[in-house]
Every structure is written in structure tokens, then in C-alpha cells.
Amino acid sequence: MFWSSALVLGLTHLCLSTPLTSKRLDTDDLLEKHSWAEVPRGWEWVNKPDPESIIQLRIGLKQDRVDELISSLYEVSTPNHNRYGKHLSKEEVDVLVAPHPDSVEAVESWLLHHGVDPTDATFRSSSGSWISVLVSVSKAEQMLGTEYGLYHHPQSSSYVVRTLSYSLPRELHQAISVVSPTTYFGTLRSMRATSFVEADISDQVADISATVPSSCASRITIACLQALYNTSGYIPSATDSNSLGVVGYLGEYANRNDLQTFLTRYRTDAVGTAFETITVNNGEDDQSEPGVEANLDIQYTVGLSYPTPNIYYSTGGSPPFNPDSETITDTNEPYLDWLNYILANDTIPQTFTTSYGDDEQTVPYDYAVSVCNLFAELGARGSTVFFSSGDSGVGGGDCLMNDGTNTTLFQPAFPASVTAVGGTTGNSPEVGVSFSGGGFSRYFGIPSYQADVVAGYVSSLGSEYSGLYNTSGRAYPDLAAQGTSFSVIVGGQTYSVGGTSASSPTMAGIFTLLNDYRLANNQSSLGFINPLIYANSGGFNDITSGSNPGCDTNGFTAVTGWDPVTGLGTPDFVKLQAIVRA
């Protein structure tokens, strides 16, 4: 998701805010901001919403110095740079992402013209780059030159109010990056959690005396991961300054009793350890409804990082929309709510893991860039962010484009290109698991840190899959970890769970230990790790077999070096200790 400095300069006209050339705002001179050629696949139009229903309109203003933010991100994240590890404070980041004063004036004038008092905003980010206001559907339609519809997503039973296109006064295109809810149809319910329950397993305790317990051939526990990734002898000590955040959606709740059962069976020295739950945007913490995804995440992050503090962010939205209601309640925007919440905090965890995502093509480009810039803020402040790479290989379903052409192409994931974690299976040796998401973005170009390894892989493919993927796109995954047969306690019972949802929290747990190691040695946290890991691939176990089929193809193949199935490979904690301490 993050791009090279050269690409940033090339995209300046798309990403930066510039002073408006005129104080007069012609609200009648509308220019389209984004549109879909057809209703996004999986959704169907139901009817027109009540024009007096209220929605929360989120306005993302263009960030005046975001090029400096990206430059700073790379400088503080690149080994051997004189700024390496010198992460920015919240206040320093806010200065770089604040909109130009002329942009603020133009947006507020636009709101006032439509009878919306900007002082009544329900939310303003500390930098001023995001503002939320409550307006009626009819008012939003007037402001955006559009028509809203009520749409249904039968697979997830979601109802949302969205548009197929929206426009802004021509001059506001210089001031506004994105407005939502508009054309992004993702919701908490329609986002995919990248985990699935496998066949039932017996309830055994691993033999931790073996180098790699024999039971790990059929199921994964904490002991298996400690042995595979060489963390067994490490005891964290910087627990007052280090923490790990798990971001949860979909009404998934991490259960405290299940965690104790899990620790009793698989990490006895950690029994009694608790995690903190923070609710975001009306999230809940219903201990009577343990979630498979949430329990998988928290059981393995706690189990691997103990005694480091863990925080589970239960990220909600509005209650499910009732199509017979006169009040629109489900206009929630995934990613935006949690990102704006966490960035408003002065102190944030050094490591995060998230196991939810969309197909990149379902996310409007301007929305994707805005979310990307928010993740850049996290990285600049010293946080490492892991995302599951997805469970559909190079693409699930028919892989048809949604631009009206019905062209079949590989479908990259979003936002798996922050630091994306693919999946492996087995241990003698580990191989890339067939569902491991991987590929090449069509939105973001190859960053400089991975240019050489990606070019080498693309060259090795020759004409294979020519035209099905973007040869110059940001490639993922970056790393990989086990992704099958994880023993998870849910409602007191043991389940076998698979997916890159298991891989991402595993990686987060290991890098939390690496952050602990640095902090204990009076160094900074690692932050955005991609430049570091691509310059030090020797810290990982190279995975050289496996493939990720999809789109009626065999998909990509794991090879020596980086590949779009397992990235640079799986972690070796001891080798990485030497790298991050240098």
C-alpha cells in the first residue's frame, strides 16, 4: 500500500491539497468524483430511502503535506538512514496531514451554503483532515449531485444506503479527497474474515520437549509456533512500554473464559493473564457470544507475546439496518472509524493485527488512497500493522472486473498491502498453503524496497498469466506463517481453525517480541517494517514450494526468494533479533 518516493511525486496531483485559486465557490458547477459502471457484484438495489432519514457524512480533506509524511515514513523506517527509528509524535503527524487553510474555508463555505453548520460537526480529527456531519438523505443528494439507494447484500444480510456516483463542485476537487458514505459498498458484515473452521480435532496437549512437537503435523498450538519460529527461550521484559492491538469487526467478541481454558491447555505459565477490551464506534463486548475469529486472534497473540499487554478493539458500527425503519442506521464505514479512533490517541500499541478485507476493485480509488494515508500515519508514529493476505489465492469466484467489461483478471486484496501475511502449512518442510492470498495491486505501484525481488519474480514468470495481473503493482504478501489447523477454544470447546487470519496474529505476536527486545535495549519500536525486512531476508525461512490457485488457474508458485504466495518466508526470531538490534 505504501509507495516509493518517486511514485509519490508522480501522484502529487492526486494526493495533495493545494490552495484554492478562488474564494468564490460555484456550487452549481459539479464535476464527478467517482462512479461505478454497475451495481457492485453481490449487491442489489431495493428501493429509495426516506429522504428525511439521517446519515453521517464523512468528509476527508486533502492533506497539505502528505508527501512529507510519506517521505518521513520511509526515512524513519529505512535502516542506515540517519532518521531510522526516530518516529513522529501525534502532533508532528497532525501538522503534516492538516489540510490547507483555503481547503478548510472552502469546505466550510460549501457546508454553510447547504445549511449545514460546520461547528455542529459530530467529529473532527485533531489534524482537521476529517470532518463528519449529520445530514438528511435529500440534503446529501443535493450536496453531492446524486441519488442514494437502499442496497441489499444477500450473502451477509447487509443493508446499506449508498450511491453509484457522486459529484462535487469543481473547485472542491482540490480540497476534498473522499466523501462517504457514497460509492464504497463495504460494510462490517460484507467484509470477509479470513478464517474458517476445519474438521473437529482431538483435545491433546503438545509435547513441548521435542524440537517441533510431533503433534504439530496435524494441529497447531502455541508450542508449535514457538518451536517453528524459534521464540521458546525469550521472556519479554519491556511490558510497561510495549503492547499489541487486535482489531476486531463483525460483532466478534474475544471471550475471557475461553482464553483461560486455552492458556491452561497450551501456555500454562500465562494462566490468569487478561486482555483489555476497548470498544470503538459503539462496539460491544458480549461475553455470552464468543467469536471464532476474535478468540483465534486473542488466544494466539496473548499466547505468543505473554506477558506483553494485549488490547482487543471491538469495532462496531450502527445496529443492523431495518429496511422498514424511517431512520437509516447502517452507514458504517469499515477502516475509517477504527483508524480515526486510534490516531486520535497520544499513545498507541507498537503492533497491530487485522484479519478482515475486501477485493481491491470493490474499493473506490480515492477511498483506498485516503485509508492508505491513515495507515501511513500509524507507521510514521512507530506502529507495525499486519493484515491477513486473504484466503482466495489469486482471486475467488469468477474474478470478473466490476467496471462493466466483465474481463477476467486476478483480484488483489485490500488493504493487504500494508504488511501482508500469507499462509503456510506443514513443518517438514513448511509449504505455501493453497488459499494464501497473493498478487499485485492495480492501485499502487511497486515500492522501492521490493522493486528488485518483484522484478526478479515477474521475469521468471515470462508470459505466464500475461495480462491477468499488474506487473508494476505493489506485490504481496510480504511474509507468511502457519495458516491451518490452529487449536482454538470457543465456548469451552476445541475447534480447528484455518486461514490467513491465523497467520497475521502469529506474525504480530512474534514482532511484538522483537519490539520488546528493542525497547528493552533502549531502542525505538520497529514501526513500518517493510524496508527493514526486504533488506534482511536472511531473517526468514524461505518457503520454496506451494501455490495459490484461483480464477480457474493454478495461481502463482512459491520459489526461492520472494514470491506472491509466501512473500519472504516465515520468521526466525533469533536471526531477526540480531537484525533488529543492529
Instruction: List all residues 6 or more positions away from 519 whose beta carbon is below 8 Å from its beta carbon.
Output: 238, 241, 242, 350, 525
**Counting Cβ atoms within 10 Å, is residue 556 exposed (0-12), middle (13-18) or buried (19+)?**
buried
478 noted as active-site residue: no
How many Å apart are CA 140 and CA 124, to the nearest integer?
Answer: 19
Inter-helix orientation angle 256-266/292-305, to 10°: 50
Within-domain flag for 326: no
Within-domain flag for 303: yes
Instruction: State whether 117 and 216 are in the same domain.
Output: no
50 noted as active-site residue: no
240 is in an annotated binding site: no
Within-domain flag for 75: no
Strand pairing partners for 479?
Answer: 421
Distances (CA, A) of 381 to 2, 345, 354: 15, 11, 18
CATH number at residue 513: 3.40.50.200
Instruction: State whether 103 and 213 are in the same domain.
Output: no
Q: Which of 193, 191, 195, 194 is nearest to 332 (CA)?
A: 191
Q: Which of 42, 45, 50 is nearest to 324 (CA)?
A: 50
Instruction: State whether 556 and 506 are in the same domain.
Output: yes
542 is in an annotated binding site: yes
120 is in an annotated binding site: no
Choosing from 501, 503, 504, 525, which is the catalytic residue?
A: 501
Q: Which of 382, 351, 480 is nearest to 424 (CA)?
A: 480
Which of 130, 160, 190 corresponds to the end of one domain? 190
Instruction: State whether 165 and 204 are in the same domain.
Output: no
Instruction: State whether 441 and 493 are in the same domain.
Output: yes
How many Å apart are CA 546 and CA 426, to the nearest integer?
Answer: 11
Which of 175, 190, 205 corresponds to the end of one domain? 190
Instruction: State whether 211 and 135 are in the same domain.
Output: no
Distances (CA, A) of 425 to 463, 477, 507, 558: 29, 16, 15, 13
Q: Walk along the chain (582 residues) and give the pLDDT tens digit of each residue.
A: 333 333 333 333 333 334 444 456 777 799 999 999 999 888 999 999 999 999 999 999 999 999 999 999 999 999 999 999 999 999 999 999 999 999 999 999 999 999 999 999 999 999 999 999 999 999 999 999 999 999 988 887 778 899 999 999 999 999 999 999 999 987 554 444 545 676 554 444 444 334 788 889 999 999 999 999 999 999 999 999 999 999 988 778 999 999 999 999 999 999 999 999 999 988 899 999 999 999 999 999 999 999 999 999 998 764 444 554 444 444 556 678 899 999 999 999 999 999 888 889 989 999 999 999 999 999 999 999 999 999 999 998 889 998 888 899 999 999 866 899 999 999 989 999 999 999 999 999 999 999 999 999 999 999 999 999 999 999 999 999 999 999 999 999 999 999 999 999 999 999 999 999 999 999 999 999 999 999 999 999 999 999 999 999 999 999 999 999 999 999 999 999 999 997
Strand pairing partners for 110?
Answer: none
Range of the domain at 135: 5-64+99-190
Instruction: State whether 201 and 259 are in the same domain.
Output: yes
Instruction: State whether 160 and 200 are in the same domain.
Output: no
Q: pLDDT value at position 178?
A: 97
Q: Which of 324, 194, 207 is nearest to 249 (CA)?
A: 194
Within-domain flag for 378: yes
In this structure, the number of other CB atoms found within 10 A of the CB of residue 469 comes to 23
Within-domain flag for 334: no
Q: Which of 201, 220, 203, 204 is nearest to 212 (CA)?
A: 220
Choosing from 293, 333, 360, 377, which is the catalytic residue?
A: 293
297 noted as active-site residue: yes
Instruction: State whether 217 and 351 are in the same domain.
Output: yes
Instruction: State whether 219 and 246 are in the same domain.
Output: yes
Q: How many separate domains does the chain show?
A: 2
Within-domain flag for 134: yes
Omega within 30 of 0 (cis) for the link into 320:
no
422: left (phi over 0), alpha (psi -120 to 50) or beta: beta
| 390-431 tens-digit pLDDT | 999 999 888 999 888 889 999 999 986 689 999 999 998 999
Instruction: State whether 180 and 303 are in the same domain.
Output: no
462 is in an annotated binding site: no
User: What is the pTM for the complete model shown?
Assistant: 0.91
Instruction: State whether 311 and 426 are in the same domain.
Output: yes
How many Å apart are CA 365 and CA 346, to the nearest integer?
Answer: 29
- Is there a contact between 306 and 234 (Cβ–Cβ < 8 Å)? no
Within-domain flag for 120: yes
Choosing from 297, 333, 366, 516, which is the catalytic residue?
A: 297
Within-domain flag for 276: yes
Which of 190, 225, 259 corresponds to the end of one domain? 190
How many Å apart are CA 273 and CA 577, to the nearest integer?
Answer: 25
Question: What's the grid cell of residue 79?
Answer: 535502516
How many Å apart are CA 309 and CA 329, to the nearest integer?
Answer: 34
| 33-79 tens-digit pLDDT | 999 999 988 899 999 999 999 999 999 999 999 999 999 999 999 99
